[in-house]
Amino acid sequence: MLRSKLPDTGTTIFSVMSALAAEHNSVNLSQGFPDFPVDPVLTELVYKASKEGHNQYAPMAGVNSLRDGISELVNKIYGVRKDPEKEITITSGATEALFAAVSAVVDRGDEVILFDPSYDSYEPAVLLSGGIPVRIPLTFPEYGLDREKIISSINSKTRLIILNSPNNPTGAVLSGDDFKFIRKVILENDLYLLSDEVYEHIIFDGMKHYSVLSDDELFRRSFVVSSFGKTFHITGWKVGYCIAPEELTTEFRKIHQFLTFSTSTPFQYALSEYIRESKRVPDLKGFYEKRRDYFRVLVESLGAGRENGFKLFPCGGTYFQLLDYSALSDENDLVFAKRLTVEFGIASIPVSVFYKNNTDNKVLRFCFAKEYSTLDKAAECLGNFLRNS
């Protein structure tokens, strides 16, 4: 029998919950994707690019004009110049970039610091490189960094830290002090940093996103990953990118060229023209903050007059809202999430799936990147559950 290289990995929970939601015709707030239409200008641009003949392999590192466009955007947002030729690579979603970055620096026996909970694609990438994931729990219920634990876990085998802010699944945002702390740890120990910044533009309440791009010294040891899927509501296009200094980009591209070689050509042309014309990213802060607040008010109003109810966690960024249901059920979060989907028509993600040992704090993740009417329906389903509980 074939010996599995990932014996503990099953089908991702996103596929499981989305399939369950479809089967039961449930409102799907599980997987993180918007249900509103993309800008028709973008879809027209894809059509135009394809009609104009951009249908063959794109350059391995990405279409030049798109890399130029990213460099300009980064300059405008973070005030730094990144070399499109030597430092920017277009990938098939952030997922590919994360995998290639891990593969580029992690060797057999290297330790990689991951936080618990963390996005589910990190650990398999580390394992497939022969690395050893070292999970450091985030504090609960704040989901903050435990500095002492991070420092005490570093040894001569530690190679890489994978950081994600704003954070999926927790919605927590790295503070300026946290950023300084991570910076110090990386530089003092000659580690590498993989900074997953796919939600860089989705941050609320006037908070600042501390991008590794804006710190020259830290950037020299880092891969910074982002995704157009999140920024332009086009998760299905799977176009992301990695920005890293030349030395790291050289190694990154050696992996990328045999992983996918290049990313879909017409989509790259469409994005490059779109960026060139708009010269900015949309105001995602206001756009998603309104939806976050709308969903939070709906959930709060469900609890009116009740002693128990769903408890809201703070959400500083991303489009995910966590709800604590510990006052409502003793079921573990996977069982509870499935029951809500099947019996009450609302799908979410149990947060335990983001933990190494499936730590169950009785917390579910709801994606609010949805039409207001979808959020209304979701709240109605949660209300039905409450009335029956």
Ligand X SMILES: Cc1ncc(COP(=O)(O)O)c(C=O)c1O
> Distance between CA 341 and CA 349 in Å, rounded?
10
Position closest to ligand X via CB: 93
Residue (194 or 328) nearer to ligand X, CB: 194
Tokens of 382: 């949660």
Cα separations in angstroms, 134 against 51, 57, 384: 49, 38, 41
Residue (71 or 195) nearer to ligand X, CB: 195
Tokens of 354: 């983001």
Residue (235 or 348) nearer to ligand X, CB: 235
Phi, psi of 102 (to 5 degrees): -60, -45
Phi, psi of 237 (to 5 degrees): -75, -25
CB of residue 229 to ligand X, shortest distance in Å: 4
Residue (126 or 379) nearer to ligand X, CB: 126
CB of residue 388 to ligand X, shortest distance in Å: 32
Nearest to 36 by CA among 322, 232, 264: 232
DSSP summary character for residue 240: E
Residue (298 or 347) nearer to ligand X, CB: 347
CB of residue 277 to ligand X, shortest distance in Å: 22
Task: Give the interface with ligand X as residue ranges (CB under 6 A).
Answer: 32, 93-95, 119, 164, 168, 196, 198, 227, 229, 235, 238, 240
> Distance between CA 335 and CA 329 in Å, rounded?
10
CB 329 within 8 A of CB 362: yes
Q: Which residues contact 388 (CB under 8 A, 6 or more apart)?
A: 344
3-state helix, strand, coil in the chain (%, to 5): 45, 15, 40
Residue (235 or 374) nearer to ligand X, CB: 235
CB 92 within 8 A of CB 260: yes
CB of residue 118 to ligand X, shortest distance in Å: 8
CB 310 within 8 A of CB 371: no
Residue (34 or 309) nearer to ligand X, CB: 34
Nearest to 326 by CA among 315, 312, 305: 312
CB of residue 21 to ligand X, shortest distance in Å: 16
Nearest to 174 by CA among 230, 218, 112: 218
> Distance between CA 7 and CA 245 in Å, rounded?
34
Residue (98 or 328) nearer to ligand X, CB: 98
CB of residue 96 to ligand X, shortest distance in Å: 7
CB of residue 302 to ligand X, shortest distance in Å: 27
CB 13 within 8 A of CB 120: yes
Coil, helix or strand at residue 365? strand
Residue (32 or 62) nearer to ligand X, CB: 32
> Distance between CA 357 and CA 100 in Å, rounded?
26
CB of residue 271 to ligand X, shortest distance in Å: 13
